[in-house]
Amino acid sequence: MKGAVALTEIWRGGRVESLHMGHAVIAGPGGEIVESWGDPEVVIYPRSSSKMIQALPLVESGAADAAGLGDEQLALACASHNGAHIHTDRVEAWLEGLGLSDDDLRCGAHMPHDPVASKEILCSDGAPRQVHNNCSGKHAGFLTLTRHLGAGPEYIEIDHPVQKAVREVWEDLTGEPVHGWSPDGCSAPNFATSLKGLARAMAFFAAAREDGETLRERSAARLRNAMARHPELVAGEGRACTRLMRAMNGSVAVKTGAEAVFVAMIPQLETGIALKIADGGTRASEATIAALLIRLGVLDAESEAAQALVNAPIVNCRGITTGHIRPVAGLMG
């Protein structure tokens, strides 16, 4: 990618062995760029980092309230979960409440990332269901909005009312027309946007208040707060999103996306962060988001969660630490 800069280094034996290049933007409450690295104009697919944008029509339309959804369901609508029972049981109950089933989902099935749930399936000669898909909460949200709108069942089609609603929100919050789209891993459309546009959207979520003047603002605040209150539902045990939100005591909401995208919404600063690692390396996106959260003073650099990402050990098959993953000098401030 043009203009990418070094953001994360791989150290071994006292020297830098590899570099991860990328881009990052910090946006202020009005959407203005506060700081940036690389090219703020670079166009990316936000992938799952954008799930709170995709969930906004669910709340704003009144569909969430009509279905009696609470914080847990809203957190799952923004989640890339592990497929543990705390995730799948809740999604199944959600679907049942709508009079729907696993067959109504359009996300496809994959083995759960949770080791306990995965072992249960393997040991029973069973097969994963769509509810195990890490995006099943988002799709349950799409189905809830579909039911509310009285629309057809193929809610992942680009011309479906659900996706039209998502696109309208997307363009409003990023402040720019979408730069095309492509099916995501879960088959739903993922709209391309500039990194500064994504950071601008995150700043809107960060500044939003549940008692705000507009319905869109109040809806955004509900989703952000649901994520921060239920970090275990947004990702799962051992995951960076969950660990970081717990370390910040629910004061900040963060979300990862495939191919090394990461975003953060920081209400106390009314600030949003968006970053993309050019080579798609998750280890680098996790180190970089932690470094930027430390830079902004919302994550304790000495906390266990921070150290696990900004000084992450690389361990070989014998348990020997052979190197470390670290943000570039100066990135943490």
Q: Could you report the per-residue pLDDT of 125-144, keeping only the tens digit for each?
A: 999 999 999 999 999 999 99
| 242 belongs to a structural domain | yes
Is 2 a residue whose pLDDT tops 90?
no
> Considering the chain, what percentage of its residues have pLDDT values greater than 90?
99
Band (pLDDT 50/70/90 cuts) for residue 264 is very high
Q: Could you report the per-residue pLDDT of 265-282, keeping only the tens digit for each?
A: 999 999 999 999 999 999
Q: Could you report the per-residue pLDDT of 100-125, keeping only the tens digit for each?
A: 999 999 999 999 999 999 999 999 99
| 34 belongs to a structural domain | yes
| 327 belongs to a structural domain | no
**Size of the chain in residues:** 333
Q: How far apart are CA 225 and CA 295, in angstroms?
A: 22
| 333 belongs to a structural domain | no
Q: Could you report the per-residue pLDDT of 146-169, keeping only the tens digit for each?
A: 999 999 999 999 999 999 999 999
| 331 belongs to a structural domain | no
Band (pLDDT 50/70/90 cuts) for residue 1 is low
Give the total number of structural domains in the chain. Answer: 1
On the 0-12 / 13-18 / 19+ scale of CB atoms within 10 A, 123 is exposed
| 332 belongs to a structural domain | no
- The CATH number covering residue 67 comes to 3.40.710
Cross-strand bridge partners of residue 277: 22
Give the pLDDT mean for 298-322.
Answer: 97
| 328 belongs to a structural domain | no
The answer to whether 276 and 42 have CB atoms below 8 angstroms apart is yes
Q: How far apart are CA 124 and CA 167, in angstroms?
A: 42
Domain that holds residue 71: 5-322
